[in-house]
Structure 1
């Protein structure tokens, strides 16, 4: 059984980052729109290599998500299907599905705009502002996530990622990796 706290965290990711067209479900169109939005925010055009790389990565993530979470095979992932899938992950995070690992890496690389192997507060908050979150809250979330350090490495991010999807501790640093300070 997934707690209300974890459901709130899962809803934040579902709603803010996956259901980009606001339909109440996740489908392939959401990933196409996300690729366009991310590319536009980074200044990449449809023919650019980075646009294609982003689009390919997101569509591969969609295919993995759909194959695992779309229990009723309707071409969409409902919030209940989303929760059930992450509940399975929480039972054994070391056995993450390929798409979950791809998504983790994708988010880290998206946030690491300087490509230096670490995320800083400006990089972090600019991504979440582009998804409609409040800049001040995103900066505060970074401080909590990084435990006051100037940056977060890939290795640290992976641990924080697992913590986000599994932890019941409302003060766990991983709860802040998606730019929000409270649930």
Structure 2
């Protein structure tokens, strides 16, 4: 199997000069930064606006509805919209908290300025804020239960989109359709990627991709610090070279 089944990801449309990667790498590995950047640019920012805003979630909802094959007035789609609205509002609240904690120059304000009522106007999230938010959320987290409730919505949403709630588990053909929309692999490469991803995430069919197992995989997608973990197959678009070469010990500085 080719190590290039997970396509090379390009984030060239995003302003990397606004991101302090040297500071981020004290908290996140390069692979975590790659995954979280993909999550922002290729999953949430469907139309490539460069920031997340309210309309980004309407666009994402429509894409996920199309993948799932739901009708606009279906209960499944209404549940998706409700969950994404909750996620968006909580995401904004989290970014506002992070912003208020790290505002520069607060110690120079007069008492009059400090006591003056102010409403923090943040209605978009950029990649820098996104990465720093996750770095903070990862601190001390070992699984999905360690994240806020709004973060725990994410694996439930993806599980539902892939037919998990309907069937009780994600079928291989549903994973194939999901990969077709996010990995960008095609034809025989897509078939091979689906086979590799499904076998890895189910231990060669020993386990079903039910919600409990999917949550464990999604936690590994977020928290996994190297390519050696099944969570990278949640989207199927990352380095899969470990499938054909011996395990390597990675020493972190």
Q: TM-score normalised by the shorter chain: which range applies?
A: 0.7 to 0.9
Residues paired across the two proteins, number: 183
Q: Aligned ranges for residues 45-124 of structure 1 at < 5 Å?
A: 45-70=71-96, 71-72=98-99, 73-93=121-141, 94-113=145-164, 115-124=166-175
Q: Is the 8 A contact 2:159 2:211 kept in 1?
A: yes
- 2:170 aligned counterpart, secondary structure: strand
Which residue is 2:184 aligned to? 133
- 1:7 aligned counterpart, secondary structure: helix
Question: What stretches of structure 1 of length at least 5 have no aligned partner?
Answer: none
Q: Aligned ranges for residues 152-171 of structure 1 at < 5 Å?
A: 152-171=209-228
Question: What stretches of structure 2 of length at least 5 have no aligned partner?
Answer: 1-26, 100-120, 241-253
User: What does the per-residue CA deviation read over 1:46-101, in whole Å, with 9 as the maximum and x for residues that have no partner?
Assistant: 33333322222211211122211354553111112111122222223342111111
Distance 2:229 2:68 in 1: 31
TM-score by length of 1: 0.86
- 1:119 aligned counterpart, secondary structure: coil
Bigger relative contact order (CA 8 A; separation at least 6):
2
The structure whose residues are more often helix, as a share, is: 1
RMSD of Structure 2 on Structure 1 (CA): 2.3
Among residues 123, 136, 146, which one is paired with 2:202 in the alignment?
146
TM-score by length of 2: 0.64
Q: Is the 8 A contact 2:52 2:125 kept in 1?
A: yes
Residues 114-123 or 143-152, more deviating: 143-152
Which residue is 2:102 aligned to? none
- 1:113 CA displacement: 5.0
- 1:141 CA displacement: 2.8
Distance 1:26 1:166 in 2: 22
Distance 1:46 1:118 in 2: 23
